[in-house]
Amino acid sequence: MTEKIKFTHLHVHSHYSLLDGLAKIDDLLDQAKELGMDSLALTDHGVLYGAIEFFIKAKEKGIKPIIGCELYVTSGDYHSKNNTAEDKTRYHLILLCKNEKGYKNLMKLISIAHLEGFYYKPRINKELLQKHSEGLIGLSACAEGEVPAAAISGDIEKAEKLALEYQKIFGKGNFYLEIQHHPNFPNQKIANNALIKISKKHNIPLIATNDIHYVRKDDNSIQDILLCIQTNRKVDETNRMNLMDFELYLKSSEEMAEHFKDLPEAIENSQKIVEKCNLEIKLGETASSF
């Protein structure tokens, strides 16, 4: 009997990623259970609205919950709201909680992002991240992340520099270069190729994700309607953002392993991250000051 492939999805959006994610938490967990997975992350855009619900329900279903968030990082001052190109440029970054300290730091970052850094989206910058990085694991995110974006623009030197900068912020072993499988998106291939080279050159580990926005493959048309509402476009318009072919559903471990069969370490690293994340949230107690 062949050993079952172990893989955990660590980039996952629920309906709490407003007008972007479609998946309900119960449906995500039920599908993960059906696929034989024993752990799952939740990384909604800029918020922790679903964290407690996800934590409680995952525990009830025998699934280890990994609490995280996809934050927006500005390269400038997160207080600045002067409508400059720098103010309007935001990069994605996945943060996952290893422990209680990481959870408190993530809450701090998200609170500051909303109360002080909100400009179209809740923002932080790397200086703030540096102050509150303890207990957190960082993933370089989708093509909208700062490292892959530099690679896609053709500036590999900048991408390398940024990857090393993030590794320094989180500490060696706590920052991963995120690769995804979206064959109909040419920029993803450019990003993946660059990230693989950077990984080999600087010994920064890879992690495979699927940027989940809905549960099953045929949910894509419904998620597309959400996207149209968000961007104020119509479904039948041709010149608009369209993610229909990206397959942003909760894929099985076998599907993910097949996509990354030439990079098995990117699959195996998902379990290494899960082993590092052991957050226990004490429910019913008032949180201590952070």
Interval 132-152: pLDDT, tens: 999 999 999 999 999 999 999
Question: How far is 267 from 257, CA to CA, in rounded Å?
Answer: 6
Interval 60-119: pLDDT, tens: 999 999 999 999 999 899 999 998 988 889 999 999 999 999 999 999 999 999 999 999
Q: What pLDDT, on a 0 to 100 scale, did the predictor assign at position 47?
A: 98
Question: How far is 139 from 167, CA to CA, in rounded Å?
Answer: 10
Delimit the domains of the chain by residue range.
Answer: 25-276
pTM for the model = 0.95
Mean pLDDT of the region 247-262? 97
Classify strands 175-180 and 206-209 as parallel, antiparallel or unpaired: parallel
Question: How far is 250 from 55, CA to CA, in rounded Å?
Answer: 18
Query: Is 287 a residue whose pLDDT tops 80?
Result: no
Residue 177's pLDDT band, with cuts at 50, 70 and 90, is very high
Q: Residue 19 has which token pair?
A: 């007008």
* Residue position matching structure tokens 């959006």: 13
> Which comes out higher in pLDDT, residue 4 or 135?
135
Q: Residue 261 has which token pair?
A: 């069969």
Q: What pLDDT, on a 0 to 100 scale, did the predictor assign at position 1?
A: 44
Q: What pLDDT, on a 0 to 100 scale, did the predictor assign at position 240?
A: 77
Q: Residue 63 has which token pair?
A: 């699934």
Query: Is 155 a residue whose pLDDT tops 60?
Result: yes
SS3 for the chain is CCCCCCCCCCCECCCCCCCCCCCCHHHHHHHHHHCCCCEEEECCECCCCCHHHHHHHHHHCCCEEEEEEEEEECCCCCCCCCCCHHHHCCEEEEEEECCHHHHHHHHHHHHHHHHCCCECECEECHHHHHHCCCCEEEECCCCCEHHHHHHHCCCHHHHHHHHHHHHHHHCCCCEEEEEECCCCCHHHHHHHHHHHHHHHHHCCCEEEECCECCCCHHHHHHHHHHHHHHHCCCCCCCCCCCCHHHCCCCCCHHHHHHHCCCCHHHHHHHHHHHHHCCCCCCCCCCCCCC
Q: What pLDDT, on a 0 to 100 scale, did the predictor assign at position 3?
A: 67
Query: What whole-number percentage of the chain has pLDDT above 70?
Result: 97
Query: Is 255 a residue whose pLDDT tops 80?
Result: yes
Q: What letters, b where the CB count within 10 A reaches 16 and e where it falls short, cover 159-169?
A: bbebbeebbeb
Cα 254 to Cα 103, 153, 258, 285: the distances in Å are 31, 32, 6, 40
Q: What pLDDT, on a 0 to 100 scale, did the predictor assign at position 288?
A: 59
Can you identify the CATH homologous superfamily of domain 25-276? Metal-dependent hydrolases (3.20.20.140)
Q: Rounded mean pLDDT of the chain?
A: 94
Mean pLDDT of the region 155-182? 98
